[in-house]
Structure 1
Amino acid sequence: MADFPVRDAIKLPTLGKRKSRADEDSQRRMGGPIHQERHVKVICVGAGASGLLLAYKMQRHFENFELTIYEKNSEVSGTWWENKYPGCACDVPSHNYTWSFEPKKDWSAVYAGSGEIFEYFNSFAEKYRLQQYVKTSHQVVASNWDEQHSGWIVTAKDLKTGLEVQDKCDILINAGGILNNWRWPAIPGLHDYKGTLLHTANWDDKVSLEGKHVGLIGNGSSGIQVLPTVQPKVSHITTFIREPTWVSPVQGLEQHVFTPQERNDFAQKPEILTDYRKKIETGLNGQFGLFLKDTTVNNATHDYMVQQMKEKINDERLISKLIPEWSVGCRRLTPGVNYLETLTKPNVTVVYGEIEKITERGCVCDDGNEYPIDVLICATGFDTTFKPRFPLINPSGKNLQDEWAKEPKSYLGIAAADFPNYLIFLGPNCPIGNGPVLSAIELQADYMCKLIDHWQTHNIKTFSPKMEAVNDFIAHKNEFMKRTVWQDPCRSWYKSGEINAPITALWPGSTLHYIEALSDLRMEDYNVEYAGNRFSWLGNGYSQTELDPTADWAYYIREYDDGEWLSRSKRRKDLTKSGTIKSREAVSFTGKDADSSQSKL
C-alpha cells in the first residue's frame, strides 16, 4: 500500500492589500480551511442568571472569542443579589431552580430564600471562574450601531467614578432581565409621606419594623411573601389590596424544610436527587393544560383552589373580596406560604380598594378613610414593558425603546427585526410563566451559541430577523392566546400591567414546546448580509480535519451505522428517551396529587 504524504503543514497564502473589513474577512477566509473560526467579540448586558449562563456556555464551547459582561451592581447574580426584603424567596421549588446540569444538593427547603439562591448563582460563577468576564458597577447607558465595523458601540458608565467608557462588539446580548427594573406606585402624594418609605426591590435592612404600624401596598408575589414574614414583628400591619388574586401551593408542593436525612441522601446518592428533580420538573411541565380554558386540569384546579382559599381565609367578608372571578392562571400563580392565614391575624387589617392619595401620615382610600402608618412598604413590582433600559440605535437611526414603547414585538422571544447582531434573554413572548423558566434560559443560551457559531464560521456581517417573520409570529401568538386564561380581564404584568392588552410576556405554548421550537436555527427567517462573497467560508479547499494531526482522517469508515438521526422525529425520540416511561397519569394539582410530586426518601 502506498504511503501518502499527509499531515504536512499547510501554508496559507499571504493576504493582499487590505481594503474594507468585508474584503479583509473574505480574503482571510480564502487563505484558510473551510469554516475557519474568526475572532468574535461579544458584549453582554447584565451578570444575573442569564448573563452568567452565557459566560459558562461560551467558555465551554468556544475558543476564538472575547466576552465582556457589564453589570450595574457591585456583585453578580442580578435580582437575587438585589432583592433582600423579608420573606423574599422563589416560587419555583428550589431543586428545580438550578441549571439542568448543575444541581445543588443542600437546599434548606422546597422554597428557598433569596440568600440561598444568590449563593447558588454566585458559587456557580466562582466554580467556573466566570467573574473574569464581568465588569461590575458598570451600567450600560447607550448602544449605537457602527456601520463602518458592522458592530455595536456600547457606552457604559463606571458607577464608582462616574466616567463613561466605550467598547465595541460584533454581537450584543441583552441579559438585563424582566423583573429587575423596580418602580414606585403611581399614587398621588407618594413622596409627601413623612414616615419611612420602602420598596421591596430596594430594601433597607437598617430599618427596624419592631413595634411599628406598617402599611403594605400590593398583593403580588413580593407582597404575598412580605406579609407573613413581618406580621409577627410589627405592632400592626395594614395591607392595601386593590384586586383579588389566586393564592395557593399550585406547583403541587407545600413548603417543607428538608430533614438532615433527606439532605444527606441528596448529597450521597445522586440517583435519589435526580429522581426527585425529574419528578418535580415533570409536574411543572405537566401544568400547561392549566393555562388553557375549559380543560379538565383548569377546571379541577379552579375548584381545588377555591376550596383551599376558603379554608385558609375562613372569613366570609375577605372570601367575597379576595377570590377572583377570572380564571386560575390569568396572573402569575404564587404559592403564598402562610399568606392567606395571616390576613385574619389580630394585628392585621385588610383594606380592599384603591388608594386615592398618600398624605404625610398615610394612605387615603376610596372608602373615604385615612390610614396612618409609621412605615410604608411598596410591593409594587417592576417595569415589565420589555423596552431596553438604554437607548439602542439601529443602522437607520431607530431606537428600540421607541419601537417597543406601545407593544414589544420580538422574534421567538430572542431578537428584534431591523436590529442586527442583537439578541435578548427573556425577551417578549418567551416562556417566563409557562413552566420551568431556567430550562428556557438554557435553551436560549444554546440558541445564541448556535447563532454565534454560525457568524464565526461563515462570512456573515449582519443577521437580524425579517420583519415579515416577526409579524407572522405575532399573528400566530395572538391567535393562540385566545384559547388561554391569560386573555381574561385581569390586571397582569403578562400584559404590561393592563387588564385588556396584548399578552407580551408569554410564549404561545409550553416550555417543552419552546425547547422544540428553538432547537434549530431557521436562517430563512433572517436577513443576512455577508462580508464579501457569501461562499468565502469554503476557504482554500482544505477541511478543518486535515489541519488536525491528531484527528482520524477516515472517521466515517465504521462497522455499522451509528450516525446521528436525520429526521426530527428520530432525533426527538432519542433525545427524550422515548419509550422509557411506561405510563403517565394525567397531571392535576389537587390535594391528592400534591404529595405524589415529592420523592419518598
Structure 2
Amino acid sequence: MADFPIREAMNTPTLGKRKNRADDEANGRLGGPIHQERHVKIICVGAGASGLLFAYKIQRHFENFDLTVYEKNSEVSGTWWENKYPGCACDVPSHNYTWSFEPKLDWSAVYASSGEIFNYFNSFAHKYKLHKYVKTSHQVVNSVWDDGDSRWHVTIKDLKSGQEVQNSCDILINASGILNNWRWPAIPGLFDYKGKLLHTANWDDSVDLSGKHVGLIGNGSSGIQVLPNIQPKVSHVTTFIREPTWVSPVQGLEQHVFSPQERRDFETKAGTLLEYRKSIETGLNGQFGLFLKNSTVNTATQEYMTEQMKQKINDDHLISKLIPDWSVGCRRLTPGVNYLESLTKPNVTVVYGEITKVTERGCLCDDGKEYPLDILICATGFDTTFKPRFPLIAGNGKNLQDEWAKEPKSYLGVAAAEFPNYLIFLGPNCPIGNGPVLSAIELQADYMCKLIDHWQTHNIKSFSPKKEAVEDFIRHKDEFMRRTVWSDPCRSWYKSGQIDAPITALWPGSTLHYIEALADIRMEDFNVDYAGNRFSYLGNGYSQTELDETCDWAYYIREEDDGEWLSRGRRRKDLTRSGTVKRTEAVNFTGAGTIESGAESKL
C-alpha cells in the first residue's frame, strides 16, 4: 500500500477531548475528519440495575467520555439493596432476571431472594469495574438546563458531610427508577401508634417479630411476600385487605428450588442453561395475549387462577371477598408462594375493608372494631407517579415535576418534550409489566447510546422530542389501552394508584414489540439544535478510515454481497433466525387483537 502522508495532509489535532467547546461552536465546524467524536460528559442519577447497565454500555462502546453516577444509598443495586423485608424476592424467574449477556449459574430457586439479586448486580459492578464511576451517598437535589452553554447544571448533596456540590454535563440520564421512593399509607393517626411501626421498603432488621401480634397492611406484591414468611414466627397476624387481587402462580412457573444436580447441569452441560433461559423467556414473551380483553389466553388463565385460588383459600367467605371481578392482569400479577394458604392458618385473621384510623393501640376499621397490635407493618408500596425526585428545570423555566404532576407524558418511555439532552430509564409507558423487564432496560440503554453517539458525531448542541410527537404517541397509547385488561376498574399503580385514570406505566404492546419499536432512532421526532452549520460534522474532507493507518482502506471491496440487509424485514428475519423454530400451532391475531392460540413452550 502506498505510504500517503495522511496526518500531515489533514493538518488536524489528534483525537481526544476538545480543547475549547466555545471555539468549536463559534466556528460552527469541527476541525477533524467526518464524524469526529466530541468529548461527552454524562451524569447518571442512580446506580441501581439501570444505572449499572448504562455504565457498562458506555464503558464498552465509547472512548471519549466522562461519566459520573450519583447514588443516594451507601451501596449500589438500588431496589435490591434497599428492600430486605422477610420474604422479599423477585416475581420474575431468576435465570431471566439477569442481563441477556450475563447469566448466573447458581440461582437457588425459580424466584430468588432480594439478597441473591443484590449479589448478582453488585458482582456485575465489581466484575466490570463500574464502581469507579459511582459516587455513593450522593443525592441529586436539583438540575437546571442552561440554553447558553447547552448543559445541565446539577446540584448534588453529599449525604455524609451534608454539603452540596455542583457539577454539569452534556447529557443527563435519570436511572432512579420508580420503585425507590417508599411512602406511608395516608391513614389518619398513623404516627400516633405507640407500638413499633415498620415499612417493608425501610425494614428494621433489629426488630424481633417472634411471639408478637403483628398487623400487616396491604396485599400487593410486598404484603403477599411478607405474610407467609412471618406467619410461622409470630403469635398472631392480623392482615388488613381493602380490595381483592389475583394471586396464583402462572401455570408452569411455580416456585421450585433447584437441586444440586440441576445446578451442576447448568454449570457443566453446554447449552443446558441457555436452552432453559430461552424457554422461560419464550414463555414470558408468549403471555402478552393475557393482557388483551376477550383473548383466549386471558379467559383460560382466569379460569385456571380462579380454580387455584378457590382450592388454596378453601373458605367461602374469603373466596367471595378476595377473588376479583375484574380481569386477570389488570394489576401486576404475583406468584404468591404460600400466601393464600397462609390466610386460613389458625394464627391469621383477615380483616376485609378500610382502616378508618390508626390508634395508639392498633387499627380501627370500618367494621367498628379496634384491632390491638404489638407491631404494625405497612406493605403499602411506593410513589409511582413518575415525577422526578428532584426539581428538573428546562431553559424555558418549566419544572418536569409540575409538567408530570397530573399525567406523565413521555416519548416512548425514554424522554420528555422540551427537556433537552435528558433521558430516562423506565419512564412513563415503557414495558414495566408487559413481559421481561430487564430486556426492555437493555433496549433503553442501547437506544440512549445511539442518541449519545449521534450527539457526539454530528455537532449537536441539544435534542429533545417534539411536543407533537409525544402527543401523537399518547393518543395512540390511549386508543390501544382501551383494548386491554389494564383499563378494567381495578386500583393499580399502572394508573397512578387510581381505578379510572390513564394508564401511564405500561407500553402499548409486548416487550418484543417495544424492542422492535426502539430498534432505530426516529430523528424526525426530535427538535435538534446544532453548534453552527448542521453539516459541520463533515469536517475537513477526510474519513475516519483514513485516520486509522491500521485498517483496511478498501474494506468495501469483496467477492460476494455479504453486507447488512437494507430492509427492516430482512434484518429482522436474520436477527431472530426466522425459520429455525417450530411451533405446534400458528399464532393467529384477529382484527380485535386477540390471540387464538399460543406458541409451543417447555413451560
Q: What interval of TM-score do these two structures reach, taking the shorter chain for normalisation?
A: over 0.9
What is the CA-CA distance between 1:24 and the residue it aligns to? 1.8
Change in Cα spacing, 1:358 to 1:581, as seen in structure 2 (3 Å) is same
What's the counterpart of residue 184 of structure 1? Answer: 184
Change in Cα spacing, 1:265 to 1:298, as seen in structure 2 (3 Å) is same
Verify the 8 A CA contact 1:187 1:356 in the aligned structure 2: yes
- CA deviations over 1:292-346 (Å, ceiling 9, x no partner): 0000000000100000000000000000000000000000000000000000000
Quote the Cα distance in structure 2 between the aligned partners of 1:26 and 1:542.
22
What is the CA-CA distance between 1:12 and the residue it aligns to? 2.6
What's the counterpart of residue 193 of structure 1? Answer: 193
What is the CA-CA distance between 1:184 and the residue it aligns to? 0.1
Quote the Cα distance in structure 1 between the aligned partners of 2:177 and 2:66.
22
Quote the Cα distance in structure 2 between the aligned partners of 1:291 and 1:404.
26
Quote the Cα distance in structure 2 between the aligned partners of 1:346 and 1:586.
49
Q: Does 1:426 align with 2:426?
A: yes
Change in Cα spacing, 1:337 to 1:460, as seen in structure 2 (3 Å) is same
Quote the Cα distance in structure 2 between the aligned partners of 1:236 and 1:53.
43
What's the counterpart of residue 590 of structure 2? Answer: none
What's the counterpart of residue 218 of structure 1? Answer: 218
Quote the Cα distance in structure 1 between the aligned partners of 2:454 and 2:12.
24
Quote the Cα distance in structure 2 between the aligned partners of 1:309 and 1:14.
70
Quote the Cα distance in structure 1 between the aligned partners of 2:578 and 2:68.
40
Verify the 8 A CA contact 1:436 1:511 in the aligned structure 2: yes
More deviation, 442-451/148-157: 148-157
Quote the Cα distance in structure 2 between the aligned partners of 1:30 and 1:505.
41
Change in Cα spacing, 1:321 to 1:14, as seen in structure 2 (3 Å) is closer
What's the counterpart of residue 134 of structure 2? Answer: 134
Q: Give SS of 1:143's match.
A: strand
What's the counterpart of residue 202 of structure 1? Answer: 202
What is the CA-CA distance between 1:146 and the residue it aligns to? 1.7
Quote the Cα distance in structure 1 between the aligned partners of 2:438 and 2:13.
47
Q: Does 1:5 align with 2:4?
A: yes
More deviation, 28-37/384-393: 28-37
Verify the 8 A CA contact 2:586 2:599 in the aligned structure 1: no
Q: Give SS of 1:156's match.
A: strand
What's the counterpart of residue 547 of structure 1? Answer: 547
Verify the 8 A CA contact 1:21 1:149 in the aligned structure 2: no
What is the CA-CA distance between 1:13 and the residue it aligns to? 5.2
Quote the Cα distance in structure 1 between the aligned partners of 2:586 and 2:531.
53
Taking structure 1 as the reference length, what is the TM-score of the superposition?
0.96
Quote the Cα distance in structure 1 between the aligned partners of 2:68 and 2:565.
37
| Aligned residue identity for 2:576 | T
What is the CA-CA distance between 1:594 and the residue it aligns to? 13
What is the CA-CA distance between 1:14 and the residue it aligns to? 8.0
Change in Cα spacing, 1:20 to 1:529, as seen in structure 2 (3 Å) is farther
Q: What does 1:53-452 align with in structure 2 at a 5 Å threshold?
A: 53-250=53-250, 252-452=252-452
Verify the 8 A CA contact 2:88 2:225 in the aligned structure 1: yes
Verify the 8 A CA contact 2:392 2:399 in the aligned structure 1: yes
| Aligned residue identity for 1:298 | N
Q: What's the RMSD between the two structures over aligned residues?
A: 1.9
| Aligned residue identity for 1:188 | P
| Aligned residue identity for 1:66 | D
Quote the Cα distance in structure 2 between the aligned partners of 1:329 and 1:14.
58
| Aligned residue identity for 2:102 | E
Quote the Cα distance in structure 1 between the aligned partners of 2:242 and 2:199.
18
Quote the Cα distance in structure 2 between the aligned partners of 1:563 and 1:135.
43
- CA deviations over 1:375-431 (Å, ceiling 9, x no partner): 000000000000000000000001000000000000000000000000000000000
Q: Does 1:570 align with 2:541?
A: no
What's the counterpart of residue 514 of structure 1? Answer: 514
What's the counterpart of residue 460 of structure 1? Answer: 460
Verify the 8 A CA contact 1:26 1:459 in the aligned structure 2: no
What's the counterpart of residue 48 of structure 2? Answer: 48
What is the CA-CA distance between 1:440 and the residue it aligns to? 0.1
Quote the Cα distance in structure 1 between the aligned partners of 2:20 and 2:27.
11
Verify the 8 A CA contact 1:252 1:595 in the aligned structure 2: no
Quote the Cα distance in structure 2 between the aligned partners of 1:250 and 1:139.
39
| Aligned residue identity for 2:531 | A
- CA deviations over 1:439-461 (Å, ceiling 9, x no partner): 00000000000000000001100
- CA deviations over 1:257-313 (Å, ceiling 9, x no partner): 000000001111240000000000000000000000000000000100000000000
Quote the Cα distance in structure 1 between the aligned partners of 2:19 and 2:148.
12
- CA deviations over 1:7-41 (Å, ceiling 9, x no partner): 554443589xx999465246484420000000000
Taking structure 2 as the reference length, what is the TM-score of the superposition?
0.96
| Aligned residue identity for 2:520 | D
Quote the Cα distance in structure 1 between the aligned partners of 2:296 and 2:351.
35
* Total equivalences in the alignment: 591
Verify the 8 A CA contact 1:26 1:536 in the aligned structure 2: no
What's the counterpart of residue 488 of structure 2? Answer: 488
What's the counterpart of residue 525 of structure 1? Answer: 525
Percent of aligned positions that are identical: 81
What is the CA-CA distance between 1:148 and the residue it aligns to? 2.3
What is the CA-CA distance between 1:94 and the residue it aligns to? 0.1
| Aligned residue identity for 1:107 | W
Q: What does 1:461-480 align with in structure 2 at a 5 Å threshold?
A: 461-480=461-480
| Aligned residue identity for 2:268 | Q
Verify the 8 A CA contact 2:459 2:531 in the aligned structure 1: yes
Q: Does 1:502 align with 2:493?
A: no
Q: Give SS of 2:36's match.
A: coil
Q: Give SS of 1:126's match.
A: helix
| Aligned residue identity for 1:254 | E
| Aligned residue identity for 2:248 | S
Quote the Cα distance in structure 2 between the aligned partners of 1:289 and 1:341.
29
In structure 1, runs of 5+ residues without a counterpart are 588-592
What's the counterpart of residue 595 of structure 2? Answer: none
What is the CA-CA distance between 1:584 and the residue it aligns to? 4.2
What is the CA-CA distance between 1:596 and the residue it aligns to? 6.1
What's the counterpart of residue 594 of structure 2? Answer: none
What's the counterpart of residue 590 of structure 1? Answer: none
Change in Cα spacing, 1:581 to 1:545, as seen in structure 2 (3 Å) is same
What is the CA-CA distance between 1:367 and the residue it aligns to? 0.4
What is the CA-CA distance between 1:6 and the residue it aligns to? 5.6
Quote the Cα distance in structure 1 between the aligned partners of 2:120 and 2:332.
24
- CA deviations over 1:512-565 (Å, ceiling 9, x no partner): 000000000000000000001100000000000001011000000000001000
- CA deviations over 1:178-228 (Å, ceiling 9, x no partner): 111000000000000000000000000000000000000000000000000
Verify the 8 A CA contact 2:24 2:30 in the aligned structure 1: no
What is the CA-CA distance between 1:582 and the residue it aligns to? 1.9
Quote the Cα distance in structure 2 between the aligned partners of 1:63 and 1:150.
22
What is the CA-CA distance between 1:176 and the residue it aligns to? 0.4
Quote the Cα distance in structure 2 between the aligned partners of 1:536 and 1:439.
36
Verify the 8 A CA contact 1:179 1:382 in the aligned structure 2: yes
Quote the Cα distance in structure 2 between the aligned partners of 1:495 and 1:450.
31
Verify the 8 A CA contact 2:585 2:600 in the aligned structure 1: no
